[in-house]
Amino acid sequence: MAELLYELSPEALRTGNADLNGILAAHKNVVPDIPTDEFVSAYQDAVMYLSQNCKGTLTKLQQVFKVTAANENWSPVTLAIARIIAAKPHSCDVERLVSAYNQLKDTNRCKMSAETIDTYLNIRVNMPPLAEFDVRPAVRRWMADKERRERIPVKATKQAWFKGTFREALRQTMN
């Protein structure tokens, strides 16, 4: 993947050492939602400016982002750089996901369906910690879902099964 994104590296943007195939590959992998001609045009304009005005000063992608963000005509390139910066380059999230899967899938849960596992892991990874979860909207929705009646339980001594089960209770209730 790194070879495909060389065209969006600070070195390639500063020096202009990118070929059209590389630019098209970067477009396809990072910003396919932007029209190709618009991206290529913005890329070439940005490279021309950066190669003339910022030869040795831009060494980090964040610095290139700041320069390209200042020009509205380069917004496709700025968007591509922003997406690369936002991508997480480590496997910490993946390790957490595998750990959650290993805790979930044990011998007692071996028949759990893939859909259930997917739902559980999605909730586990994407939900906030329980302390931050506000239950009020869920309770309001549950309350509005249907009309609920208040149940007042009948005392056990007044129920029919009780009298036939406990003879001593039957004598006490008759007295």
Q: What contacts 150, CB < 8 A, 6 or more positions away?
A: none
* 159 falls within a domain: no
Mean pLDDT of 15-29: 83
| Residue 35 pLDDT | 92
Cα–Cα dist 23/43, whole Å: 8
Predicted confidence (pLDDT) per residue in 152-167, tens digit: 777 766 776 666 666 6
CA angle 4, 126, 101 (to 5 degrees): 85
- Based on the domain organization, do 106 and 67 belong to the same domain? no
- Based on the domain organization, do 13 and 63 belong to the same domain? yes
Cα–Cα dist 83/18, whole Å: 19
Predicted confidence (pLDDT) per residue in 82-103, tens digit: 888 887 666 777 788 888 888 8
Q: For the whole prediction, is pTM greater than 0.75?
A: no
Considering only CA atoms, which of 79, 16, 18 is closest in space to residue 53? 16
- Based on the domain organization, do 11 and 72 belong to the same domain? yes
Predicted confidence (pLDDT) per residue in 38-92, tens digit: 988 998 888 888 888 876 676 788 888 888 888 888 899 999 888 888 876 667 7
- Based on the domain organization, do 15 and 75 belong to the same domain? yes
Cα–Cα dist 30/5, whole Å: 8
- Based on the domain organization, do 38 and 81 belong to the same domain? yes
Are residues 6 and 12 in contact, defined by beta-carbon separation less than 8 angstroms? yes
C-alpha 103, offset from chain centre: 21
Tokens coding 74? 């380069």
Q: Which of 86, 109, 136 is the last residue of a domain?
A: 86
3-state helix, strand, coil in the chain (%, to 5): 70, 0, 30
- Based on the domain organization, do 111 and 136 belong to the same domain? yes
| Residue 23 pLDDT | 86
C-alpha 85, offset from chain centre: 16
Predicted confidence (pLDDT) per residue in 115-144, tens digit: 888 888 888 888 877 788 888 998 899 888
* 75 falls within a domain: yes
Count of structural domains within the chain: 2
| Residue 84 pLDDT | 84
Euclidean distance between the first and final Cα of the chain, in Å? 87
- The DSSP code for 147 is -
Cα–Cα dist 2/157, whole Å: 76
* Domain range enclosing 56: 6-86
Mean of all residue pLDDT scores within the chain: 80
Q: Does pLDDT of 168 surpass 70?
A: no
Cα–Cα dist 59/64, whole Å: 8
Q: Which of 86, 118, 136 is the last residue of a domain?
A: 86
| Residue 136 pLDDT | 92
| Residue 112 pLDDT | 82
In the chain, the amino acid numbered 80 is A
